[in-house]
C-alpha cells in the first residue's frame, strides 16, 4: 500500500513531471500540430484505441482478479509519458513527433480517459470512480500550463524545467523499486504469473502494434520508431498517482501492482527495443522527411 507521505511525494513528483512536459511546449507547437493533424490523429488512435483494447483483451483472456484487472485498465488508458520522449531520442526517432503525441494524448485524456474506462470497465462489470480520475487529470493540466508559461518567459528556465521533469520520470522508477517493492515483497511473491505477464506484455504489445500501425501508414522509419515507443510507453507515474489518490486499503495494493510492475519492466523493454532500433538504423534513415510524418 501507499502511505500518506508517499502519496504526497507522488503528487509532488507528478507535478514536476507535468511541469517539465509543459516546459517542452510553446503555443507554436500547437499551431503546427493543427496544421499537420496527422500527428494528433496517430497519437489519439495509438493511446486510446490500441492500448485500452490490449489491456481489456488481456484482462478477459487471462482471467485476472478484479483489483488486477482494474489496475491493468487504468494503466492501459493512460496518456503517453515523458519517458517515451527520452527513449525516442536515444532510439534516433523523431523527438518533435514524440513530444507532440505525448502532449496530445495528455490533453485529450481529460475527456477520453473517463470515456474509455467507462466502456471497458462496463464490459468487464468493474466499478471505477471516474469522478476522482477526472478531477486529478484536470488538476494536472495546471502544471502543464505553468511549464508553458515558464518556457515563454525564459527559454533557459524552460529548458531546465523540461530536463528536471524528464529526469524525475526516470527517478520515479527508482522510487518504486526502493520504496514500494521491498514493503510488498510477499505480495509480489504471491502474485500470479498472469499478472506479471499482463504488466510486461502491455508495453510489448503496444510497441509492436504501434510499429505495425506506423508501417501500414507508410511512415518514415524514424517516425515509425517514435509511434512504436509512444504507443507502448504509458504514463505509469500518473496511473500510480491516480490509483493512490482514488483507492485505499488492501484493494489499493492489488490495483497498484500492475502500475508498479509495468513501471519497472517497461524500462527494460524500452531499453531492449531502443538497442534494436539503433542497430537497425541506417544513414539514409537519419534524414528526416520534409513533413513531421
CATH of the domain at 204: 1.20.1530.20
- Asked, for residue 268, whether it belongs to a domain, the answer is yes
pLDDT in tens, 18-64: 777 777 777 676 676 667 677 678 878 888 999 999 999 999 999 88
Find out whether 252 and 184 touch, Cβ atoms under 8 Å.
no
- Asked, for residue 213, whether it belongs to a domain, the answer is yes
- Asked, for residue 187, whether it belongs to a domain, the answer is yes
* CA dist., res. 142 & res. 15, Å (int): 9
Q: Which domain holds residue 9?
A: 4-276
- Asked, for residue 95, whether it belongs to a domain, the answer is yes
- Asked, for residue 162, whether it belongs to a domain, the answer is yes
pLDDT in tens, 52-106: 999 999 999 998 888 899 999 999 998 887 788 888 888 888 877 887 788 778 7
What total number of domains does the chain contain?
1
pLDDT in tens, 92-104: 888 778 877 887 7
Mean pLDDT of 99-117: 83
Residue 289 DSSP label: -
Long-range contacts, 84-90 (Cβ 8 Å, 24+): 84/229, 84/230, 84/233, 84/270, 85/24, 85/166, 86/166, 86/169, 86/170, 87/229, 87/233, 87/270, 87/271, 87/273, 87/274, 88/225, 88/226, 88/229, 88/230, 90/274, 90/278
- Asked, for residue 290, whether it belongs to a domain, the answer is no
Locate 91 and state its grid cell. 532510439
- Asked, for residue 289, whether it belongs to a domain, the answer is no
- Asked, for residue 281, whether it belongs to a domain, the answer is no
Q: Where are the alpha helices (DSSP H) in the chain?
A: 4-23, 27-35, 38-45, 51-61, 66-76, 82-90, 95-123, 130-153, 155-175, 181-183, 185-190, 193-216, 221-232, 236-246, 249-280
Amino acid at each position: 500500500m501507499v502511505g500518506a507521505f508517499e502519496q504526497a511525494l507522488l503528487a509532488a513528483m507528478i507535478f514536476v513531471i507535468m511541469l517539465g512536459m509543459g516546459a517542452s511546449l510553446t503555443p507554436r507547437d500547437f499551431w503546427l500540430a493543427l496544421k499537420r493533424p496527422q500527428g494528433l490523429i496517430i497519437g489519439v488512435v495509438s493511446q486510446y484505441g490500441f492500448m485500452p483494447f490490449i489491456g481489456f483483451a488481456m484482462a478477459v483472456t487471462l482471467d485476472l482478479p478484479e483489483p488486477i484487472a482494474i489496475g491493468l485498465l487504468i494503466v492501459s488508458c493512460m496518456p503517453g509519458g515523458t519517458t517515451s520522449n527520452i527513449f525516442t531520442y536515444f532510439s534516433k526517432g523523431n523527438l518533435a513527433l514524440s513530444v507532440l503525441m505525448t502532449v496530445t494524448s495528455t490533453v485529450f485524456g481529460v475527456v477520453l480517459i473517463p470515456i474509455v474506462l467507462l466502456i471497458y470497465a462496463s464490459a468487464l462489470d468493474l466499478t471505477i470512480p471516474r469522478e476522482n480520475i477526472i478531477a486529478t487529470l484536470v488538476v494536472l493540466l495546471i502544471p502543464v500550463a505553468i511549464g508553458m508559461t515558464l518556457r515563454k518567459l525564459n527559454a533557459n528556465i524552460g529548458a531546465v524545467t523540461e530536463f528536471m521533469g524528464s529526469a524525475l520520470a526516470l527517478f520515479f522508477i527508482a522510487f518504486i523499486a526502493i520504496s514500494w517493492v521491498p514493503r510488498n515483497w510477499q505480495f509480489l511473491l504471491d502474485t500470479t504469473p498472469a499478472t506479471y505477464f499482463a504488466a510486461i506484455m502491455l508495453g510489448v504489445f503496444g510497441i509492436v502494434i504501434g510499429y505495425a500501425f506506423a508501417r501500414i501508414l507508410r511512415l518514415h522509419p524514424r517516425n515509425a520508431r517514435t509511434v512504436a515507443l509512444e504507443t507502448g510507453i504509458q504514463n505509469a507515474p500518473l496511473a500510480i498517482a491516480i490509483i493512490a489518490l482514488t483507492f485505499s486499503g488492501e484493494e489499493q495494493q492489488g490495483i497498484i501492482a500492475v502500475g508498479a510492475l509495468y513501471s519497472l519492466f517497461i524500462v527494460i523493454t524500452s531499453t531492449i527495443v531502443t538497442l534494436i532500433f539503433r542497430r537497425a538504423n541506417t544513414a539514409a534513415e537519419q534524414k528526416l522527411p520534409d513533413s513531421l510524418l
